[in-house]
């Protein structure tokens, strides 16, 4: 009996010893679990604190800053802005996408102000024609630089040759762009649509990268030809909208990095007279061509502004150091709607642009355009479009 009792005691001691070792092994795991839970609770409180702070800041901005800032800005715009416009005489301006449309008209506007010009585009003969017209309008000298800004090496060469020729660079106008208008599910050659990002985004970023040191040295300006499509997403332009949104966010970020070293003015134009609104763009099969029917389906009920007016407004804003230019002004409330009530914009876009394939119907916006005869209100250059080829 004693032996059994001793054996039972040994077994009991061994069990307690095993339990003790097991408890010691489990204790660190339990401790880690408790620390993890405590860390999670701390992080949740930290996030909650930031959420409360950010909502409070937003409330202050809406209730205090905006009511004070808006009247002050309007007053400054009326009294101060006219006195601090930049004198462009003798300034050196490099414009990409200068062979037509907005780039061409901006070249003429800068020429009238006495600026030296470096014009960049792929079409050499078209550039030469723009250069000759710019000289007639008052540009002291114009440098023609045929180049594809979607190629970083050619962008670098364009900037270097401009600085070598003129000795400085004051403004870079990043204007090169290409369009597309078709529903995503109509695309038959998806690989071809990388061209929109190559031209619209990288075709701005590359020349900016190489020009930036020279712009810093002259405390110059970047002028970016973006689009209202970067903030207002409408149907049939998925690739174009995406490329312009990327471009917009890039330059807004760059502005936060540069501060006052280099001014940045971003043009968020709506439909304006150009080769884009003549119908030139990447088609559903991937080829670049003019399709007036696709253009009419896209523009629909919206008016098309004159390029001369846009560029007058844009250059005035550039000279004044404005951050944004949205023209025609009807697109400003659209941007507000896109921010505050995106579901409304989405529904309107769906209704205006949806094609009922089963009925062979054109989009509603295009049918309204045709039924009302509003197309006759287009600028004359869009009624019988001629696109430069060389």
pLDDT in tens, 317-368: 999 999 999 999 999 999 889 988 999 999 999 999 987 654 557 899 999 9
Average pLDDT over residues 12-36: 57
Confidence category of residue 39, pLDDT binned at 50, 70, 90: confident
pLDDT at 96: 98
The rounded distance, in Å, linking the Cα atoms of 174 and 200 is: 9
pLDDT of residue 25: 53
Average pLDDT, the chain: 89
Sign of the torsion formed by the C-alpha atoms of 224, 227, 232 and 234:
negative
Say what percent of the chain tops pLDDT 70. Answer: 90
* CATH number corresponding to 92-383: 3.40.50.720
Q: Which DSSP helix (H) or strand (E) runs through 350?
A: helix 342-353
| Position 7 pLDDT exceeds 60 | no
Average confidence (pLDDT) over 220-245: 96
**In sequence order, what are the beta bridge partners of 95?**
119, 173
Active-site residue list: 240
Of the pLDDT bands very low, low, confident and very high (cuts 50, 70, 90), residue 40 is: confident
pLDDT average, residue stretch 39-59:
86
* pLDDT tens-digit readout, 258-305: 999 999 999 999 999 999 999 999 999 999 999 999 999 999 999 999
Query: How many angstroms separate the Cα of 199 from the Cα of each of 22, 243, 386?
Result: 66, 9, 22
Q: 249 or 57, which is more confident?
A: 249
User: How far is 94 from 218, CA to CA, in rounded Å?
Assistant: 14
45-63 burial, b at 16+ Cβ within 10 Å, e below that, comes to: eeeeeeeeeeeeeeeeeee
The two three-digit tokens of residue 340, written as one number: 């505050």
pLDDT at residue number 163? 98
**DSSP letter (8 states) at residue 184:** G
Q: Could you tell me the pLDDT band of residue 30, with boundaries at 50, 70 and 90?
A: low
The C-alpha angle with vertex 46 and arms to 44 and 52, in degrees rounded to 5, equals 100
Burial environment of residue 309 by CB neighbours within 10 A (0 to 12, 13 to 18, 19 or more): middle
For residue 9, pLDDT over 70 is answered with no
- Mean pLDDT along residues 173-186: 95
142/136 Cα distance (integer angstroms): 11
Confidence of residue 212 (pLDDT cuts 50, 70, 90): very high
| pLDDT higher than threshold 60 for residue 222 | yes
More confident position, 7 or 373: 373
Q: Which of 101-115, 204-218, 376-390 has the lowest mean pLDDT?
A: 376-390
Confidence of residue 29 (pLDDT cuts 50, 70, 90): low
- Are 286 and 317 in contact by the 8 Å Cβ rule? The answer is no
What pLDDT is attached to residue 104?
Answer: 98
**pLDDT at res. 69:** 82
Say whether pLDDT at 19 is over 80.
no
Higher pLDDT, residue 30 or 196: 196
Contact between residue 318 and residue 223 where contact means Cβ atoms under 8 Å apart: yes
Model confidence at 33: pLDDT above 80 = no
Lowest model confidence (mean pLDDT) among 30-34, 190-194, 281-285, 365-369: 30-34
pLDDT at residue 74 in the model = 74
Cβ–Cβ < 8 Å for 92, 169: yes
* Residue 2 reports pLDDT greater than 50: no
Q: What percent of the chain has pLDDT over 90?
A: 69
Residue with the bigger pLDDT between 97 and 82: it is: 97
User: Residue 216 — pLDDT band, cuts 50, 70, 90?
Assistant: very high
């Amino acid at each position: 009996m004693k032996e059994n009792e001793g054996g039972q005691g040994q077994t009991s001691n061994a069990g307690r010893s095993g339990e003790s070792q097991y408890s010691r092994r489990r204790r660190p795991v339990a401790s880690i679990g408790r620390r993890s839970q405590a860390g999670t609770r701390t992080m949740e409180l930290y996030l909650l604190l930031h959420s409360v702070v950010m909502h409070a800041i937003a409330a202050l901005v809406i209730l205090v800053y905006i009511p004070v800032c808006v009247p002050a800005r309007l007053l400054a715009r009326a009294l101060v802005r006219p006195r601090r416009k930049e004198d462009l005489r003798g300034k050196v301006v490099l414009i990409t996408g200068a062979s037509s449309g907005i780039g061409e008209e901006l070249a003429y506007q800068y020429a009238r102000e006495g600026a030296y010009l470096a014009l960049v585009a792929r079409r050499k003969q078209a550039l030469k024609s723009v250069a000759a017209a710019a000289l007639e309008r008052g540009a002291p000298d114009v440098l023609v630089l045929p180049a594809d800004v979607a190629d970083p090496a050619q962008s670098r060469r364009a900037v270097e040759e401009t600085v070598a020729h003129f000795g400085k660079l004051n403004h870079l106008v990043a204007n090169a762009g290409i369009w597309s208008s078709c529903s995503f599910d109509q695309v038959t050659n998806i690989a071809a649509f990388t061209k929109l990002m190559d031209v619209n985004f990288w075709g701005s970023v590359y020349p900016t990268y190489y020009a930036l040191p020279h712009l810093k040295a002259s405390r110059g300006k970047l002028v970016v030809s973006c689009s209202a499509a970067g903030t207002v997403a409408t149907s049939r332009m998925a690739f174009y909208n995406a490329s312009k949104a990327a471009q917009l966010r890039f330059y807004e970020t760059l502005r936060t990095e540069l501060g006052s070293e280099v001014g940045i003015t971003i043009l968020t134009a709506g439909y304006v007279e150009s080769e884009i609104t003549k119908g030139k763009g990447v088609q559903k099969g991937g080829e670049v061509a003019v399709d007036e029917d696709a253009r009419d389906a896209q523009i629909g009920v919206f008016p098309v502004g004159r390029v001369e007016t846009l560029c007058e407004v844009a250059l005035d804003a550039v000279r004044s150091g404005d951050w944004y230019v949205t023209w025609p002004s009807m697109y400003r409330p659209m941007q507000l709607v896109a921010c505050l009530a995106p579901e409304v914009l989405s529904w309107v876009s769906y209704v205006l642009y949806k094609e009922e394939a089963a009925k062979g119907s054109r989009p509603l916006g295009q049918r309204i355009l045709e039924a009302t005869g509003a197309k006759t209100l287009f600028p004359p250059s869009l009624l019988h479009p001629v696109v430069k080829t060389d």
